[in-house]
């Protein structure tokens, strides 16, 4: 009898929790929006509670982009995920504000998600928003004299020093796809097989498709790059520019 009463109490507790839990609405499909080079696209809408608005913005590696969110609710923000990202957004609005400017580290569709912070969503608040997206000119090409490594898309390859978050120093394989004027994208293969891309402009590291945050220090002729995940890479200038 006591066991039956205990079982009934557990079932009742689960029922109460289920009723108290916020209901997540069905996530609508992401809307793909192609922004012409040099143009600005304004995307407007409204959210209530836990609703989300997702957009896919196609960009080329090396193409600049500026995103700005204006919203009627101070708890409204947006995040940006790089193509294929599975371990964290490259930009998180709730910690970095409502303006994001970067150089695309890799070609593909960038997922932009507009949302309300959980506290506001829990109160079922409303937010009207306008997300403006300005895409830069298409990136230039590498000089014709800069030959590719046979059988690869890279203009040069190298083993670089790296250290994954919480790990020991090791080496990672890297290849660079160069563009004009010291620009290019370095593709880094981590020991476990995961891949990171770091974009360079004017010979300087400017963005990555890794989790939010990119810190760059200079050590002689090397860029020492630390991502928000804690991963660390040492990329020599010679790999990027060929100099």
Ranges of beta strands (E only) in 11-143 are 31-32, 40-48, 53-59, 64-71, 76-81, 91-92, 99-103, 108-116, 126-135
- Select from 188, 81, 64, 87 the least CA-distant residue to 138: 64
Mean of pLDDT over the chain? 87
Residue 21: the pLDDT is: 37
Judge whether residue 11 has pLDDT over 50. Answer: no
Report how far Cα 204 is from the mean position of its chain's Cα atoms: 19
Min mean pLDDT across 85-89, 184-188, 222-226 is at: 85-89
Residue 166: the pLDDT is: 80
pLDDT confidence bin for 167, thresholds 50/70/90: confident
pTM for the full predicted model: 0.83
Q: Which 3 state secondary structure label does DSSP give 50? A: coil
Residue 6: the pLDDT is: 43
Judge whether residue 88 has pLDDT over 50. Answer: yes
147 Cβ contact list (under 8 Å, min separation 6): 155
């Amino acid at each position: 009898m006591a066991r039956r009463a205990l079982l009934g109490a557990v079932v009742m507790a689960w029922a109460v929790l289920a009723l108290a839990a916020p209901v997540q609405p069905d996530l609508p499909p992401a809307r793909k929006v192609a922004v012409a080079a040099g143009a600005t696209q304004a995307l407007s809408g409204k959210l209530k509670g836990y609703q989300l608005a997702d957009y896919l913005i196609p960009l080329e590696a090396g193409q600049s982009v500026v995103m700005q969110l204006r919203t009627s609710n101070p708890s409204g923000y947006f995040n940006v995920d790089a193509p294929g990202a599975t371990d964290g957004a490259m930009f998180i609005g709730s910690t970095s504000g409502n303006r994001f400017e970067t150089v695309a580290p890799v070609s593909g569709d960038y997922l932009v998600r507009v949302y309300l912070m959980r506290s506001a969503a829990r109160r079922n608040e409303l937010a009207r928003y306008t997300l403006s997206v300005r895409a830069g000119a298409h990136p230039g090409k590498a000089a014709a004299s800069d030959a590719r490594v046979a059988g690869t898309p890279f203009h040069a390859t190298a083993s670089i020093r790296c250290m994954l978050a919480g790990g020991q120093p090791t080496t990672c394989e890297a290849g660079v796809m160069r563009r004009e004027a010291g620009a290019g994208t370095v593709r880094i293969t981590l020991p476990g097989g995961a891949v990171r891309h770091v974009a360079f402009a004017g010979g300087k590291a400017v963005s990555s498709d890794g989790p939010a945050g990119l810190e760059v220090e200079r050590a002689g002729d090397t860029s020492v790059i630390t991502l928000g995940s804690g991963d660390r890479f040492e990329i020599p200038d010679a790999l990027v520019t060929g100099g």
